[in-house]
Amino acid sequence: MPPLRQWERFDNRAMLVLASALGVLSLAIIWYLISGPRHQHPELASRLPRRSSIENVIELDEQQAHTLKLVIVSEQDFNKEVRSIGGIDFDQNRTVTIYAHYPGRILEAAPNVGDFVERDQFLFSMQSPDLLAAETTLIASASANVLQGKNLRRAQEMIKIGGISEMALDQAASGQQTAQGAIVAARNTLKTFGKSDEEIDKLIIERRADAALVVKSPISGIIVSRAAAPGLYVQPGVAPAPYAISDTSTLWLYANVLEEDAPLIRVGQKIEAQVAALPDAIFYGKISVVGAALDPVTRRLVARCEIADPSHLLRAGMFANVSIKVGDVYRAPATPASAIYREGDGQLTVWTTKDDRRFTRKYVKIGESQDGFVQIMSGLKMGDKVVSDGGLILTKRDQAITLHHYR
């Protein structure tokens, strides 16, 4: 092989120098990544919580640890529950639709939608030709009864002196009985219009017919709909009904239960409901009807519940969160809900400690939630001390240390 020329030997030496420089630079970068920020900024490193050699453990100084609130894992009472959503509606068994019993034209209508009415309170009045005819018949029957009564008394006096025959007396007695039957029938007819005995007696005495038919409330409740207006012609059973009244001391709640929970639902199970408009109020009730089939679209089972609302706080159409008690009360380890944190990957964690200075992050599985406590299925045991307030600070500091380590 011929000897290397001078310029070729020069290029080889340059390549060796360049490779050595790159090696030194690489070692400098590695040293910086391992110890750069912490050694270059000791005051910053002193402010960071110190991570133990054990994974997911953070050590705080006394002042930092004092800001955390700690609780002991203890047993709490839980009910086996099924949770669902539902809607409030009027209790149809306590809702009455008020129709006119006879055709006529409305003269006056008093209460409005949302008003509370008592039983037998005035709703509306209407002009009824049938009522006028019934009152006229009563007046005529009352007059005929008076006349036949006089005829009978006169015949009884005449028979004593032989002034009339026995047949005439019998005819007078028959006429008086017919008149009495007619007045009883007329009174009963007027009672179907809602007239009381006192009103009928007054009508007989005054002998003045009034075509105004007064319709009163059959129950105490809230006016939920009104179509009545002066001048409106109404007929029996023809929509729209002049009024609808509902007793809202009890309401219906339709709970939509998931398909997998459907086998647990039974009539008579107790429920608790909450609405967004009243977050601090809990309404109690029970299941009265369980649907025979699932909704083909939503794949949910509808359970109709009856809930008590004696203060009339709820409104039909409200959405509610429903908790159905499907099992007996049991005791289980629990922590406050504030102690549970959800990681970015969806796992649930808590921070635990034994000496109030070193805090370990543990993964847990939870069960039921009730009264601010969460059932612990695994990951903790009775007597463990956990952070119930301030754990988010630990999580953020843990992330800060991790970022620093891999910087």
Q: What is the DSSP string of 229-268?
A: -TT-EE-TTPSSPSEEEE-TTEEEEEEEEEGGGGGG--TT
Going across the sheet that includes 212-216, the strands are 212-216, 122-127, 104-109, 233-234
- Cβ atoms of 298 and 84 closer than 8 Å: no
Confidence of residue 10 (pLDDT cuts 50, 70, 90): very low
Mean pLDDT over each residue of the chain, to the nearest integer: 82
Segment 343-354 shows an average pLDDT of 86
Among 207, 152, 205, CA closest to 178: 152
pLDDT of residue 273: 95
Burial of 336: CB neighbours in 10 Å, binned 0-12, 13-18, 19+: middle
Which residue's entry shows tokens 């805090």? 359
pLDDT of residue 30: 61
Confidence of residue 19 (pLDDT cuts 50, 70, 90): low
For 115-174, what is each residue's pLDDT tens digit? 999 999 999 999 888 888 888 888 888 888 888 888 888 888 888 887 788 888 888 888
Is the pLDDT confidence value at 327 over 60?
Answer: yes
Segment 11-28 shows an average pLDDT of 65
Distance in angstroms (rounded) separating the CA atoms of residues 314 and 76: 31
Query: Which secondary-structure segment (H or E) carries 214?
Result: strand 212-216
Task: Give just the sign of the alpha carbon dihedral 379, 382, 384, 385.
Answer: positive
95-245, what's its fold? OB fold (Dihydrolipoamide Acetyltransferase, E2P) (2.40.50)
Lowest mean pLDDT among 72-81, 233-242, 393-402: 393-402
- Across the chain, how many H-helices and E-strands are there? 7, 22
pLDDT of residue 46: 41
pLDDT of residue 403: 38
Segment 290-313 shows an average pLDDT of 94
pLDDT of residue 275: 95
For 40-64, what is each residue's pLDDT tens digit? 444 434 444 444 434 467 887 777 7
Confidence of residue 15 (pLDDT cuts 50, 70, 90): low
Distance in angstroms (rounded) separating the CA atoms of residues 88 and 319: 6
Cβ-based neighbour number of residue 270 at 10 Å: 14
Which residue's entry shows tokens 């092989």? 1
Instruction: At 342, give phi and psi (nearest 5°).
Output: -100, 125
Residues with Cβ within 8 Å of residue 150, at least 6 apart in sequence: none
pLDDT of residue 40: 43
pLDDT of residue 169: 80
Burial of 46: CB neighbours in 10 Å, binned 0-12, 13-18, 19+: exposed
Confidence of residue 28 (pLDDT cuts 50, 70, 90): low
Confidence of residue 294 (pLDDT cuts 50, 70, 90): very high
Segment 199-218 shows an average pLDDT of 85
For 337-347, what is each residue's pLDDT tens digit? 888 888 878 88
- Cβ atoms of 189 and 135 closer than 8 Å: no
Is the pLDDT confidence value at 178 over 50?
Answer: yes
- Both structure tokens of 246: 């509902």
Confidence of residue 367 (pLDDT cuts 50, 70, 90): confident
Confidence of residue 405 (pLDDT cuts 50, 70, 90): very low
pLDDT of residue 397: 62
Q: Into which CATH architecture does domain 50-91+248-407 fall?
A: Beta Barrel (2.40)
Share of the chain above pLDDT 90, in %: 36
